[in-house]
Structure 1
Amino acid sequence: MMTKQIPLLVSALLLGACSSSVTIDDIVPAEEVKKPLFLRGDFSLWDAQPEYQMQRVAPAIYETKIRFSTPGKAYEFKIADAQWSAGYNCGYLDEALDKTLELGLPVQADCNSVYNYFSFTPEEKGWYKVSINFSRFKKPLVTVNQVFE
C-alpha cells in the first residue's frame, strides 16, 4: 500500500512546483534586443556615441569597453538606445541595492527608468567592460569588470 502512495506524492510535488509565480518570460528573453544600445553617461555627455555601442557577445548578453581615467571619481551612466525609448532605457532597479556597482557583482536593471543612473567608482585607471544580461528579460543584470590588456 505504501509503494502505491509514493508515485502520487511525487506527482503532487511536481504539479505544485509548476504553479510557481516565475514565468518563462522571467527566465528566457522573449526576443533579442531590437535596437542598438549604448553606454551613455557623464563621460559621453549622455550622448549615444558609436564607441560605446553595446555588442552582442552571447545570447541575451551585450557589452562594451570603456576607459575610466580618473581613479576615485564616481562615473554615472545608463544603458539606453539613441532615443531613450521605454523598454530600452536601463538604469538601476532599486536605489539601495542596485545603484552603485562594484567590480564583478551584478545588479538588477529597470529598462523603463528615467533618472535611475548607475554609479561606478574605479580604484584605478584603465579599461573596463560594462555588460547587460537579458537572460531574465524583465530584470536584466548589469556588471562592470576590469579588462587587463
Structure 2
Amino acid sequence: MFKKLLLVTLAAAALATGCSGGGSSGSGKRDLSEFMYLRGVFTWWDAEPEFQLKKADKPDVYFASAELVADGQPYDFKFADAGWSAGSNCGFKGKEDEVVEVGKRVKSNCSSAFENFKFTPPETAVYDFFIDVSGEVPEVYIEKQ
C-alpha cells in the first residue's frame, strides 16, 4: 500500500512540475527566454545576460544578437542554459547542419555535447541568432540586422 501511495505522489508531483514549470508560449512548450542563452567564443562560452534569448515575433521562435567581426574565421556557438543541462544544450544535429550561413536553416539537437555550430560572418555587423522550436526538430538560422 505504501509503495502505491508513494508512486501516486511522485507521479502527481511530476505532472504538476511539468505543467507549471518554465512557462508556456501557448503550445505547451517551455519559454526559452526564461533560461536559455546564445553561448559561443564571442561570449567566452558564458551565459551572459546580454545574450539571454528573447521572444521573436513568431510563436516558439527565440533569438539573441551579437556583433561579430568578419575576419574570415568561423565563430563557434550553441544555444544552452546556464548549466549546460541535458535537453537544453543545442548544437548541430548532423554534420550537414554544422555550418550556418545567413538565411540558411539547419537542424539542431538539444541534447548535444560537443556539436558546436560554426558561422563565418560575411561582413562585420550585428547578427541575430535564432532558434525555432515550433517543429518536431528545432531549427537554427542567422539574419543580419
2:115 match: 116
The 2-side partners of 1:88 and 1:80 are apart by 5
Q: Matched residues in 2 for 1:50 and 1:74: separation? A: 23
- Taking the aligned partners of 2:27 and 2:105, their CA distance within structure 1 comes to 18
Distance in 2 (CA, whole Å) between partners of 1:29 and 1:115 is 29
Alignment of 1:40-51 (within 5 A): 40-51=39-50
How far apart, in 2, do the equivalents of 1:84 and 1:116 lie?
Answer: 13
**Can you list the C-alpha shifts for 1:85-106, whole angstroms capped at 9, x where unaligned?**
11110000001x1000011011
Runs of 4+ in 1 over 3 A off after TM superposition: none
Secondary structure of residue in 2 paired with 1:43: helix
Q: Where do 1:1-149 residues align within 5 Å?
A: 30-33=28-31, 35-57=34-56, 58-95=58-95, 97-136=96-135, 138-147=136-145
Cα distance in 2, alignment partners of residues 101 and 127 from structure 1: 15
Answer yes or no: is the 8 Å Cα contact 1:72–1:124 preserved in 2. no
Checking the alignment, whether the CA contact within 8 Å between 1:109 and 1:140 is kept in structure 2 is yes
Residues of 2 paired with 1:80 and 1:29: CA distance? 21
Is the 8 Å Cα contact of residues 91 and 109 (structure 1) preserved in structure 2? yes
Cα distance in 1 for partners of 2:27, 2:84 equals 20
Answer 1 or 2: higher relative contact order, Cα 8 Å, separation at least 6.
Answer: 1
1:49 partner amino acid: E
Distance 2:129 2:48 in 1: 15
Unaligned runs of 5+ in 2: 1-25
Question: Aligned-pair distance for 1:36?
Answer: 1.3
Secondary structure at the aligned position of 2:115 is classed as coil
Paired letter, 1:106: R
Paired positions, count: 118
> What letter is aligned with 1:75?
Y
Secondary structure of 2:111's counterpart equals coil
What residue ranges of structure 1 are gaps of 5+ in the alignment? 1-27
What's the secondary structure of 2:83's corresponding residue? coil
Q: 2: distance between equivalents of 1:110 and 1:59?
A: 20
Q: CA deviation at 1:33?
A: 3.1
